[in-house]
Amino acid sequence: MSKTVLHEPTLGTILMVEKAIKDSGEYPTRMALWKSLPREIQYQTFSRVLEYLEGSNKIMPKGRSIIWIAADNPKLKKLLDESVVLR
């Protein structure tokens, strides 16, 4: 039996959730993250955003916590740009 999707997240919603996770570093639970968002969204939409972020390797669950793991750190980008490429 397939799950019926009532509402797909918008780009603005995805960016809002990304920012909340990046700014926090780690949340104790999905519910704490959901309640901390600056505007309300449906929980099903929130779950779809988390599925997308995990599938694109931007977040990972650690027990019941959610951790931002995307490599978008400016220091890391600078290091990669200046590093020697080995073949």
Tell me the domains of the chain and their CATH numbers: 11-82 (1.10.10.10)
Phi-psi region of 57 (alpha: psi -120 to 50; beta: other; left: phi over 0): left
pLDDT in tens, 33-87: 999 999 999 999 999 999 999 999 999 998 888 988 887 767 777 888 898 888 7
**Structure pTM?**
0.76
Dihedral over alpha carbons 24, 25, 29, 32 (to 10 degrees): 0
